[in-house]
Chains A and B, each alone.
Chain A
Amino acid sequence: MRRATCAKWGASAVAVALVTAGCGGGSGASRSGVVSASWGDPQNPLEPANTNEVQGGKVLEMLFRGLKRYNPKTGAAEDVIADRIATADSQNFTVTLKDGWTFSNGEKVTAKSFVDAWNYGALLTNKQKNASFFQYIDGFAQVHPDRGSPRAKTLSGLVVKDEKTFTVRLNQKFSSWPDTLGYSAFMPLPQSFFRDHDAWIAKPVGNGPYTVDSYEKGSVLRMRKWGNYPGDDPARNGGIDLRVYTDSNTAYTDLQAGNLDLVDDVPAAQLKNVKADLGGRYINQPAGIIQTLAFPMYDKRWGRPGAEKVRRGLSMAIDRDQITREIFQRTRTPATDWTSPVLGADGGYKAGLCGAACEFNPAKAKQLIKEGGGLPGGRITLAYNADTGSHKDWIDAICNSINKSLGEDQACVGDPIGTFADFRNKITARRMSGPFRAGWQMDYPLIQNFLQPLYYTNASSNDGKFSNASFDKLVNEANAETDAAKAVSTFQDAEKVLAAQMPAIPLWYQNGSGGYSDRISNVALNPFSVPVYNEIKVN
Chain B
Amino acid sequence: MTPASRIACYVVLTIAALITVVPLLYMLSLSLQTEAETMSADPVLWPEALQWGNYAELFERAPFGHFIANSLIVAGGITLAHLIFDPLVGYVFAKFRFPLKNTLFLMLLMTLMVPLFVRMIPLYTMMSNIGWINTHQGLIVPFLMDAFGIFLMRQFIQPIPDDLIQAARIDGASELRIYAQVILPQVKPALAVLGLFTFVFQWNEFLWPLIATTTEEMRTIPVGLTLFNQEYFTLWHLTAAGSVLLFLPTAAIFLLTQRYFVRGITLSGIK
Whether both chains belong to one complex is answered with: no
Instruction: List residues of A whose CB falls within 8 A of some B CB.
Output: none
Instruction: List residues of B whose CB falls within 8 A of some A CB.
Output: none
